[in-house]
Amino acid sequence: MRRSLKNTARKFSADSQNLATLAQSLALSGSRLERRHWESFLDKLLEKLLGNNQQQAIDSALDHLFHTDPLAYDVLLDCVETISSSCSQPYDGKAYKGLLLAVPIIAWTRYVIPSGQITATQIHPLFTLLREHIIAKNTHAALAPALFSIDQLPQSYCDTFSLTRRMVDAALHTKALQLPTELPETAPFLADTRYLLIAVAAEINKPLLRWEEVDAGINSQLTRRSVLEQWQTHAVPNVQLLLPGCGVDLLLPDSYYVACREADKAVRPTSLKAAVHYLTNSLSVEANQLSAVIASVGDQANAMRIDEYRISFSHSGNSDVYYGVVWPLYDEESADDDVSLDVSRRPGIPPPLSPMQQIVATLREAGITKIQNAETVFAPEFCDDCGAPLFCDPNEEMVHAEMPEDVGENSGHLH
């Protein structure tokens, strides 16, 4: 189950009630025909609300179902994401379907990770590679002329709905996509995600993506894996030109929300490794001279449910916290996950790691040997002055992370 946004209560309007009722009916469907029946009504209502910028009605329904009917919540969220990131449009006398894709790039550096508008010269080779390796043949496509940070992506389902339709229209009519001249600024991080956005359109019943093509075979996972390998092999040199001074890792381009969620998860271990690399170089120490404290942070309004871990770094024998990394939990992840033997698991496939196990394994891989797990579940505290999250020191007190003054001037303000 996905996690709800933390926000104040919203007005529960008639539209919100209709959304919730339709989602519950769809969740309880006993046949594919019944599912299609309720789905058609739900899709039409969502298209109306998204087109009229009625974000509040949608958020209110999602909040209500999150607390009262988790299954219907997942159903409604899936429908909202689908309708906002896909569309149908007529073109040249035929019916076309369109889909918004995100192309995630994990980047890390000691400097600044670039973002913002890019030139046609920079776009062309990447657009060509996306056509060759990701999107299906005989499709129309449009690539947005920007390298987006998470702060520069659409901030609501209504924004995504509008952008999807603009980009699909640009793809079908081979038009240039106009973006705002100034995109929002993004906070500097040692490791972060950047995105390319591409819309692809094809005739109804024709494939949109390379692994959907008939000759791709029935093993979709194997095909997706081979597509990703080809994309990484051929695209990395061109992506590095967009991100000078950065290490990069390319994830599989996919439907907008799926790709963004996978990127959110994939950047977490990279953030920890980048932090260790930054500290060892800035402080002129070895990784085994650093210590880490893992603190569980929960929401007091939800019985201290753990929503994230905050990992703080100190020099061994010193209680000062020099740097911290937030490891949020997403979707179905839970701090209570105990990995047990699953008798239905296929032979040769290792069991998944719990979030805590992933953090510990990543720290050890980076060379950290002194790892402390704080026993307390902390409230999500932030600095009153700058808004930065507070981190747990070895004495299990929440403090502000501060680099020593003699290295702070050269290391910049990083989060």
The helix or strand, by DSSP H or E, that contains position 56, with its residue range, turns out to be: helix 55-68
The rounded percent of the chain whose pLDDT value lies above 90 is 75
State residue 410's pLDDT score. 42
Of the candidates 205, 254, 211, the residue with the CA atom closest to the CA atom of residue 85: 254
In whole angstroms, give the CA distance from residue 228 to residue 230: 5
Tell whether the model's pLDDT for residue 339 goes beyond 80: no
* Mean pLDDT, rounded, for 49-77: 96
Res 351 pLDDT > 80: no
- Separation CA 269–CA 366 (nearest Å): 10
Report, as an integer, the average pLDDT of 23-34. 97
pLDDT in tens, 299-331: 766 556 889 999 999 998 889 999 999 999 987
Average pLDDT of the residues of the chain: 89
- Residue 346's pLDDT is 53
Q: What is the pLDDT of residues 220-264, one digit of tens each?
A: 666 889 999 999 999 999 999 999 999 999 999 999 999 999 999
pLDDT higher than 90, residue 194:
yes
Contacts of 115 (CB under 8 A, 6+ apart): 146, 147, 148, 149, 152, 183, 186, 194
The pLDDT-based confidence of 412 (bands split at 50, 70, 90) is very low
Mean pLDDT value across residues 334-356:
60
The bridge status of strand 247-250 relative to strand 140-143 is: unpaired
- Does position 345 have pLDDT exceeding 70, yes or no? no
Position 33: which residue type? L
The single-letter DSSP state of residue 135 is: B
Q: DSSP string spanning 264-302?
A: HHHHHHHHHHHHHHHHHHHHT--GGGEEEEEEEEEEGGG
Residue 177 and residue 179: Cα distance in Å, rounded? 6
> Is residue 87 scored above 80 in pLDDT?
yes
pLDDT category at 218 given cuts 50, 70, 90 is: low
| The overall pTM is greater than 0.95 | no
User: How much of the chain, in percent, has pLDDT values that exceed 70?
Assistant: 88
